[in-house]
């Protein structure tokens, strides 16, 4: 099944996300790191383009840098979502929490949790 292309409004959201940096790095370290878009899921299916958070390569896909091991990266930056969703959410909060924090940065009203 092909993924549905984003609407104009959804694309605007994702463009803004691309500029804001990793939400985990911002909240945890006060640092800007270039990011990728993480789509929240339910039952193994994406919820849609409005249910998205910005995560860096490490926090999103577990991509290491400069020859560092995943274990060393975890000791410095915390767990990656790809390597352990359970540890990631225990350390940084649920995807829903990170979505709410992302929406705050974007100025999305509190009642609109990505819908």
Question: Could you tell me the residue range of the domain that residue 29 belongs to?
Answer: 21-106
pLDDT for the residue numbered 110? 65
Residue at 9 is within a domain? no
User: Span 47-53, mean pLDDT?
Assistant: 91
pLDDT for the residue numbered 46? 82
Confidence (pTM)? 0.87
**What string of DSSP letters covers the chain?**
-PPPPP-HHHHHHHHHHHHH--HHHHHHHS-----EEEEPEETTEE--TTSEEEE-HHHHH----TT--HHHHHHHH---TTT-HHHHHHHH--HHHHHHHHHHHHT--TT-S--
pLDDT in tens, 71-115: 999 999 999 999 999 999 999 999 999 999 999 999 987 654 544
CATH code for the domain of 97: 3.30.40.190
How many domains does the chain contain in total? 1
Residue 56 reports pLDDT greater than 60: yes
pLDDT for the residue numbered 71? 97
Q: Which of 115, 76, 73, 77 is nearest to 96 (CA)?
A: 115
φ and ψ at residue 32, rounded to 5 degrees: -95, 125
Residue at 41 is within a domain? yes
Residue at 35 is within a domain? yes
Residue at 74 is within a domain? yes
Residue at 73 is within a domain? yes
């Amino acid at each position: 099944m092909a993924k549905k292309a984003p609407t104009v409004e959804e694309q605007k959201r994702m463009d803004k996300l691309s500029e804001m940096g990793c939400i985990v790095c911002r909240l945890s370290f006060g640092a800007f790191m270039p990011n990728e878009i993480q789509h929240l899921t339910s039952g193994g299916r994406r919820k849609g383009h409005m249910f998205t958070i910005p995560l860096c390569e490490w926090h999103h896909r577990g991509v290491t840098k400069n020859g560092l091991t995943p274990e060393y990266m975890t000791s410095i930056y915390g767990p990656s979502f790809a390597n352990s969703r359970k540890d990631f959410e225990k350390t940084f909060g649920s995807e829903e929490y990170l979505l709410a924090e992302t929406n705050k940065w974007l100025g999305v009203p509190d009642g609109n949790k990505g819908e």
